[in-house]
Amino acid sequence: MFNFKVHRKDTSTKARVGRIMVHGIEIETPVFMPVGTYAAVKAVSPRELEELDAEIILSNAYHLYLRPGDKTIRNLGGIHKFTGWKRGFLTDSGGFQIFSLSSLRKISHEGISFSSHIDGSKHLLTPEAIIQIERNIGADIIMPLDICTDVPTEYDHVKEATKITIQWAMRSKVAWEKDQNNSTLFGIIQGNIYRDLREYCTKKITKIEFPGYAIGGLSVGEDKKSMYETIDFTTDHLHEDKPRYLMGVGGAKDILEAVVRGIDMFDSVLPTRNARNGTVFIPGGRLLLRNSENREEERPIEDGCTCYTCKNFSRAYLRHLFKTREILGYRLATIHNLHYLIEFVKKLRASIKSGSVDKFREELEKGLV
Amino acid sequence: MFNFKVHRKDTSTKARVGRIMVHGIEIETPVFMPVGTYAAVKAVSPRELEELDAEIILSNAYHLYLRPGDKTIRNLGGIHKFTGWKRGFLTDSGGFQIFSLSSLRKISHEGISFSSHIDGSKHLLTPEAIIQIERNIGADIIMPLDICTDVPTEYDHVKEATKITIQWAMRSKVAWEKDQNNSTLFGIIQGNIYRDLREYCTKKITKIEFPGYAIGGLSVGEDKKSMYETIDFTTDHLHEDKPRYLMGVGGAKDILEAVVRGIDMFDSVLPTRNARNGTVFIPGGRLLLRNSENREEERPIEDGCTCYTCKNFSRAYLRHLFKTREILGYRLATIHNLHYLIEFVKKLRASIKSGSVDKFREELEKGLV
């Protein structure tokens, strides 16, 4: 049901191009996964996502458990049928979101108890319960419950959290093996920015054996250097023939720096959230659509861009839509940002294939891509 | 530049099928015009409007004068280029909106002075200024400044307002004739529900001579009987060979009742505003998407409906999108409602052509369309 092949390895970096086959869905890596927390990528339709060449999108088990309920999705035939999105789905467990959003949360070895951020109702989610929830939802790739710590968090606390994460990974795998259905379970590596804990966790998680591995708990407040170093030494301890997913990372530069350190998969709310704030990606940086300099600017967001937005609308019109809070503005900016990032990853793949990653990196630094 | 032909008249009612040709754009009548107050039909894209077979959309000169400014639109090549919408545009003057939204508004024979509802800035809009604003915006059909009174408003007040509306219509025509550009100016008939004032206004306005006539000031609080009667005796006084536009009316039943009384054009925020509230049109009534009975409802909004929404999404998914306030929900409901109403008008046209308006009316009353 799940297969991953590396097709091409860069000679000067750890970058690689590969292909995931999961339940008949083919995903070229490196891949960027747009986020649709509530089973909808904010502001865009499945048809638009297909046109953008999105291959797999990410939803959140915690959120879907609360609304509309994982059993509701199961009763409606699973998340693909529910949403009309026929390509890949990955569900994160939502451990991170329980910590950010819910109140009265409490971790025990058993699981996480918390009050819903929607209606205050009380819940206990165990690793086994999360597997069952994700199975009901029916995504192609699912993530186990884990504990994500902030940076900075003191060593002893991270150590304890890492140990629990490993125990939960083991329990998740046991639960998953009982009935794999159409889901493929990845392992998650935690350990904050403590090198020995990352190494310890990587060894333990890989020993449990999963079809793919995620690096969690990065891009949560640490500096870029720590993030890149952590990615670098973690991928050194990961099997070459398994896909590696860096959770919650999504800027162009961070994606490139992670890919050259051996990462294959990414997700982030960055392109969609930025878009809804009127911030759009262009080579060399960002453009604030609300700025008055765009008042009568006839150019599109990006000259030569082939997205629906840039082919049809001026910055002036987009500024107007944002100033008047028209939904169409959020839509058009989202389309451009997703297009930008998905095309960026395509170009990055091409540069790996042609052995020109270094040149691509230079172009990015010069603001040319 | 502007041409209207009645192609078929119903024998048992005053319904007719016609065609407006305006600046190379062909519009079949009866026609429903979706409203895009700020030069964007809320939640949908120009591409989607084309797919929905929308032929002409309505924007508001008052709103566009304030944001982004009519001169900005002119500098950007006019509203078609600004928005990417290549089919028809009609701009209402916004007299009605100045009254609903702005503060310190004051009418004199000269025009309307008011404070902007956005930043409180002071403005005076005269009939001549509105013509200039609409010329800058560049819509195909434009409306003169008028005074719309509520129901009930006492007779003497309506009489005075009607007289000013007539004076303004005359001044608007003079201003428009100086430089017609690509715009076609319609006349507006006011007079509230007072029969003699409507008749008086109709005579005066038709004497000024316009390429088309609008009936304004209905659907503002009066009962249906008064509305239908007012339409009926007003169209009796209008030339057969000019299009008749009933402003601000947009429910299926009201459209049918107006068409059989000789109306050709309609606009309303009803389908788009209802959609954003989660209320969608179905034969026989309305469906509230948020209702719990839709929780696990696999059926689309309307069985057999060919809109993007109904072909791809269940009521359960739409309910979920509304419960989680996903923009996609507003979009999908808007697409369905516009599709419903545009298709309704198409069917109504077909029934006039085939001489079966009465049968169509019966079907509507039985909840079959």
pLDDT at B63 over 90: yes
pLDDT tens per residue, range A181-192: 789 999 999 999
Q: How far apart are CA B305 and CA B309, in angstroms?
A: 9
**Residue B33 sits at the chain A interface (C-beta within 8 Å):** no
**Residue A331 sits at the chain B interface (C-beta within 8 Å):** yes
Q: Contacts of residue A295 in chain B, CB cutoff 8 Å?
A: 68, 72
Q: Contacts of residue B84 in chain A, CB cutoff 8 Å?
A: 312-313, 317
Interface test with A, best of B50, B80, B290, B324 (most A CBs within 10 A): B324
pLDDT of A179 reads 82
Q: Contacts of residue A317 in chain B, CB cutoff 8 Å?
A: 39, 76, 82-84
Q: How far apart are CA B90 and CA A100, in angstroms?
A: 48
**DSSP state, residue B260:** T
pLDDT of A228 reads 97
The alpha carbon of residue A32 is apart from the nearest alpha carbon of chain B, in Å, by: 21
Contact A82, B314 (CB under 8 A): yes
Q: Which whole-number Å values give the CA distances from A181 to A60, A176, A243, A317, in the listed order?
A: 19, 9, 20, 48
- Using the beta-carbon criterion (under 8 Å), do A314 and B76 form an inter-chain contact? yes
pLDDT band at B1 (very low <50, low <70, confident <90, very high): confident
**Residue B167 sits at the chain A interface (C-beta within 8 Å):** no
Interface test with B, best of A45, A63, A64, A298 (most B CBs within 10 A): A45
pLDDT tens per residue, range B207-220: 999 999 999 999 98
The ipTM, to two decimals, is 0.97
Among residues A64, A96, A138, the alpha carbon closest in space to that of A267 is found at A96
Q: What average pLDDT does this structure show over B259-282?
A: 98
Beta strands in chain B (DSSP E): 2-9, 16-22, 25-29, 31-34, 56-60, 88-92, 103-107, 112-115, 122-125, 141-142, 184-185, 187-189, 213-215, 244-246, 265-268, 279-282, 285-288
Q: How far apart are CA B369 and CA B252, in angstroms?
A: 9
pLDDT of A224 reads 96
What's the whole-model pTM score?
A: 0.98
Q: Which whole-number Å values give the CA distances from A253 to A57, A221, B59, B319, in the listed order?
A: 21, 17, 42, 38
pLDDT of A136 reads 97
- Using the beta-carbon criterion (under 8 Å), do B330 and A327 form an inter-chain contact? yes
pLDDT tens per residue, range A20-79: 999 999 999 999 999 999 999 999 999 999 999 999 999 999 999 999 999 999 999 999
pLDDT of B296 reads 98
Is the alpha carbon torsion for A25, A26, A29, A31 positive or negative? negative
Contact A192, A153 (CB under 8 A): yes
pLDDT tens per residue, range A220-252: 889 999 999 999 999 999 999 999 999 999 999
C-alpha angle with apex A57: A51 to A60, nearest 5 degrees? 150
DSSP-assigned states of every residue in A114-167: EE-TTT--EEEE-HHHHHHHHHHHT-SEE--------SS--HHHHHHHHHHHHH
Q: Residue window 78-137, chain A: list those with CB within 8 Å of chain B.
A: 82-84
pLDDT of B102 reads 78
